[in-house]
Every structure is written in structure tokens, then in C-alpha cells.
Amino acid sequence: MSEEKSYFIGIDVGTGSARAAIIDAKGQLVCLDVQTILTHNPKHDIYEQSSSNIWSSITTCVHNVMKQSNLRPEQIKGIGFDATCSLVVLDKQGNPQSIDHESNYTNNEFNIILWADHRAVDQANRINATHHDVLRYVGNIISPEMEIPKTLWLKENMPEDVWDSIGHMMDLPDFLTYRATGSFARSTCSLTCKCSYLPRLVGQGWEPSFFKEIGLGCLIDEDFARIGGNDPGNVLKAGEPVGSGLTKKASEELGLLQGTPVGSAVIDAYAGAIATLGATPYGTTERDEMLKSLEHSLKTHGPSRLAIICGTSSCHITMSPNPIFVNGVWGPYRSVMVGDMWCAEGGQSSTGQLIDFIVNTHPALAEAQRKSGEQNLNIYAFLSQHLITLQTQRGLQYVGELTRHLHIYPDFHGNRSPLADPSLRGTIVGVSLDKSIDDLALRYLATLQAVACQTRHIIETLNKEGYTIDTLCMSGGLCKSPLFAQILVDVTQCRVILPESIDGAVVIGAAFLGAKASGLSPDLWEIMVRLGRAGTTILPSKDQQVVHMNHSRYKVFLAMLEDQKKYKRMMMNDSE
């Protein structure tokens, strides 16, 4: 393969959009296209999507990037996919099967239960009450956002004939490779991280005693056919070729060549980690040294780097050569990204979504939008600028001093890590009757600080059990905020490495999977180091006033958590 003429396509499906990107053999972004996708949200805890709508958005994206790049189909040597960990349901013919309770499962347009859907909270609680050994690999507490609680919800709520009509249930990343190749092979990443599968050298795959105990013994009777079957040969590592590449139908839809290699997919957060955990500034001595000793760099960078993929929610991924069990943190997961490495996955169920909520529900929103429009700024850049103005007006040395008496606890949508408690909720302390843009900006700042404090909580929990995290490799929308990046480094006292392409980091990670499938290298870590491109590095402030203030803020964060637990106990005692 001539590297100079080789290009790879990455396809990423996030919560609100699909995107496609083309990279060259040096990992450089050539072009990118984004298309929105539909979400059906009939109730506060119900979120549904359409696999047909998602595939249509993907085909539009691919056609657009091919047109923008002026590349020929034969120059595309591989394709990789990533997506949210959402449950796709198909009938026995492979067509969309409704999961929409409101339509009595007749509206087949909506056949995906989105990751954020919390309909299966009761099922997750009952699964956790079994204390089965399988739960050790999800921090001892399964989340309602995972696929097995959602599968159990469908079993318990669908009419029997509708349940019996289901032919396939799979994570969205695996649906995309199926749609592209016709192969029902599953990815180790999806099965292990979200479907209670124990991979080779950990378990026997599907653990029958677990499924029997939780009420899904019917899956045992069919040899787990609907969730992937029992053939370990159909479980692929990240980037391994799927089937025979693009089918004739998919190639015509995408405008690419039939047989173009397709890499086994990963969950979107892992694509962000693939793009960033091995990245260094291009052309540096550090990069050369990492390439000379790949095994050494993997074992040293793995436990000390944390990928933070921050969009609607945030995921935190780190690696270790050996399994490290951390309560309230998903994993350790073996070989779900880089072969033979164990991944831990923390997360925050709502970060971008929380910031949007705080800003969009404030009385001063309309005025702030008008003023931001006049300055040709988006609302968040305007608020960041307004905070600097307030800092100057009030004669403060550090912008964080503005919220000395305003604090937010961020679990408005429950806690994913490190507490794994979906019943937790948000708290705001220090609210006044102020309806001005000043107050809106302060609440925005307090929200960013809250997200950073919770990230510190996750890091401290991981390091306490054996990780050595001191570097945060960011990707996702919050990377665009210099204010948030500085708050994050100052609160956590870790350095932050931003990606060279902030808009494209996650989808570039998907393209790395296409590069592996093409044969560029059989070693995903080598691809991550060779093609990974880091941007700006931000270091924490060592000013003692800043350090002390953020330490105090973190103590308030922990106190607010304990207060919420205390209030719950008080009300439970009152009701008895």
C-alpha cells in the first residue's frame, strides 16, 4: 500500500449528530462533515432513535466528504465506525423493530433505545441486587444505560409476540458494521463494556448463571443468538476486518468501492481515547521515542493518561497492563481497545447537557443571545468573555473567585462514576434573585467548576486503587472552551493535552480503525502513536491562592454530596 495515496474514513455517531471524516496516512484531517440525527423524547427519561435515520445521515456525510476532498473511491483504503452505546433492535429479517412503548411497539421508525434512556432503572437495581460475579467488571453496579437492563425491560414490557419477533439486539457500533458489511460479528468493545460479556482469558463469554438469575434465561435456551451468539470467532478486536468489507448495497449507498475494508467498531468514547491517548505533537523527539519503544510507552502512558471525551456526557478512559478493580468505575475491560490492555471507564452522565440546561433555563438567556449575536459570538464564548469583564470590574486576580459563594453539585441526571448512583440529583447553593446576564455568567462558571470537581473525584478514586493519572487527553465539544480547559487543569492539578483537531478528534479515532483494517499496522497502539496528533498542552497554575481556592471548592463539592445523602436519609426516616 502506498501511504502517500492512502486515505481512511472515520464515521462517528454521537447523541445528536453523525459525522464522517477523511484522514491521510499521517493522521491529518482532510475534511469533515456533520449531519443531525433525530431523537424522540416523549418523557423525561425516555430517549429513542432510528437506525434508518442514522444510516441516511451517514451516507450524506460520506458523499459530502468525498466531494469536498476530490478523492476517488479507490483511494479510500479502510473505514472505521464508532457510535454511542445505544441498543438497536431488529426483527428476524434484519429490519427495524419498534421499542416505542407509546405506539404499542408499532412505530418501527424508533428502534433504538438511546444510551441516556433511563427506563430500565428498576431492572438495573434488581440485577445489582443479585451481586453476581459478572458485576465485578462494571464496578459492582450495572447502569440502566447499559444494554442488559434495557433488554430485560423489553422482555418484561413488550407483548410476548413482539418480544418473540425480535431477531437481533446489538450495540449501535455493531449495527453500523452490520449495515456496512452484512456481518453480524460483534466487537469486543461493545460486548464487554455494555453487554455483560466476559471475553477470552476473563470468562467464557456469556455467563449462563448470570442471565438465568436476572430473568433472561430465555437467551440461554437460544444459545444467545439474538445478542451475538456463542462463537468466539464472531467477536472481533478494535479495528479487525469485519466480513468481506463493504457490501455491494452499502458501497452503492456510500459511493465507495465494494469490498473496502471495514474495521470492527468501538463505542464513541473509545474512539476519542484511540485518537488522543497516544498522541504527541507531530515531529517531536517525544513522538520518535514512543515509536522506538512501543511496548514501554504503552505500559507507562497507559496508567498515567486519562482520555476525557466530553460531549453531551463525558467519559473517562485509562489503561493498565493488569486488571485494576475500582468500585463505581466500569471495568476493568480486557482488550476492548488496545490488545491485552485493561481499560477502566468512568463517566459523567450529563456535562454538555447540564451546561445547556443551566444556560437555557436562565431568565437572562434572550438578552445574552441578543448581545452575543451582536458580537458575532456563540453564547458560551460570550459568557466566557463576560466573566473576564466581571473579573476586571471587581478587581479579582483569578476568574474563579467570582463564584466563591456559588456552588453547583452536577448530578442532575444521576451519577455514573465514581458512585454509580442514578438516583442522585443536582444541587445549587448560593442562589439570589438576580436575573441579569451577570448571574447567568456566574452560573455558567459554577457549572464548569462543578464538572471539573467531579472529574477530580473520578481521578482520585482511580489513583487510590493503583493508577498514576497526571495527564488528561481531551476530545469533544468542551475542548473548544479555553475557560473550561484552564478550570479543569487547575481543579485537578493535571496537565491537559488538547487534540490538534478539536472538532474531529473522535471521528479521527474511528478512522484509525479503518487504517488498522486496511493493514497499515496490525498494532492499534502503533497506529495511535504514528497517526495521533496532539495540539496545545495546558499546565495547571501553581499559584497558591488558586490552588487553595480550588481545594476549598472541591471540599464544598464533597460536602454537598454528603448533604444530599443526609437529606435522603432524613426524609426516609420521616416516612417510616
One pLDDT digit (tens) per residue for the chain, 576 residues? 555 689 999 999 999 999 999 999 999 999 999 999 999 999 989 999 999 999 999 999 999 999 999 999 999 999 999 999 999 999 999 999 999 999 999 999 999 999 999 999 999 999 999 999 999 999 899 999 999 999 999 999 999 999 999 999 999 999 999 999 999 999 999 999 999 999 988 999 999 999 999 999 999 999 999 999 999 999 999 999 999 999 999 999 999 999 999 999 999 999 999 999 999 877 778 888 888 899 999 998 889 999 999 988 899 999 999 999 999 999 999 999 999 999 999 999 889 999 999 999 999 999 999 999 999 999 999 999 999 999 999 999 999 999 999 999 999 999 999 998 989 999 999 999 999 999 999 999 999 999 999 999 999 999 999 999 999 999 988 989 999 999 999 999 999 999 999 889 999 999 999 999 999 999 999 999 999 999 999 999 999 999 999 999 999 999 999 999 999 999 987 655
Q: For residue 387, which amino acid is it? A: L
Q: What is the DSSP string of 101-120?
A: GGGTT--TT--EE-TT--TT
Spatial distance between the Cα atoms of 38 and 447, rounded to a whole number of angstroms: 27
C-alpha separations of 371 from 227, 268, 357, 377 in Å: 51, 35, 19, 9
Of 238, 226, 255, 117, nearest to 189 by C-alpha is 238
C-alpha separations of 91 from 94, 97, 178, 262, 511 in Å: 5, 5, 14, 24, 30
Spatial distance between the Cα atoms of 471 and 462, rounded to a whole number of angstroms: 13
Question: Are the beta carbons of 269 and 344 closer than 8 angstroms?
Answer: no
β-strands 87-91, 112-113 pairing: antiparallel
β-strands 407-409, 427-429 pairing: antiparallel
Q: Report the phi/psi class of residue 70: left, alpha or beta, with left for phi > 0 and alpha for psi in -120 to 50.
A: left
Spatial distance between the Cα atoms of 326 and 418, rounded to a whole number of angstroms: 8
Domains of the chain, first to last: 3-254 (3.30.420.40)
Spatial distance between the Cα atoms of 118 and 135, rounded to a whole number of angstroms: 19
**CA gyration radius, the chain:** 23
The answer for residues whose C-beta is within 8 angstroms of residue 281's C-beta and 6 or more apart is: 287, 533, 534, 535
Q: For residue 310, which amino acid is it? A: C
The answer for residues whose C-beta is within 8 angstroms of residue 60's C-beta and 6 or more apart is: 33, 35
**Exposure letters 432-443 (e unless 16+ CB within 10 A, then b):** eeeeebbbbbbb
Of 307, 327, 411, 269, nearest to 138 by C-alpha is 327
C-alpha separations of 261 from 176, 257, 266, 337, 509 in Å: 14, 10, 16, 19, 16
Cβ neighbour number for residue 35 with a 10 Å cutoff: 17
Spatial distance between the Cα atoms of 216 and 229, rounded to a whole number of angstroms: 15
Calculate the CA dihedral of residues 566, 569, 575, 576 and round it to 10 degrees: -140
Q: For residue 361, which amino acid is it? A: T
Question: Are the beta carbons of 479 and 498 closer than 8 angstroms?
Answer: yes
Cβ neighbour number for residue 398 with a 10 Å cutoff: 15
Cell numbers that stand for 384 in this block:
466566557
The answer for residues whose C-beta is within 8 angstroms of residue 294's C-beta and 6 or more apart is: 523, 525, 526, 529
β-strands 262-267, 76-83 pairing: parallel
C-alpha separations of 532 from 139, 163, 445, 504, 509 in Å: 30, 44, 31, 12, 9
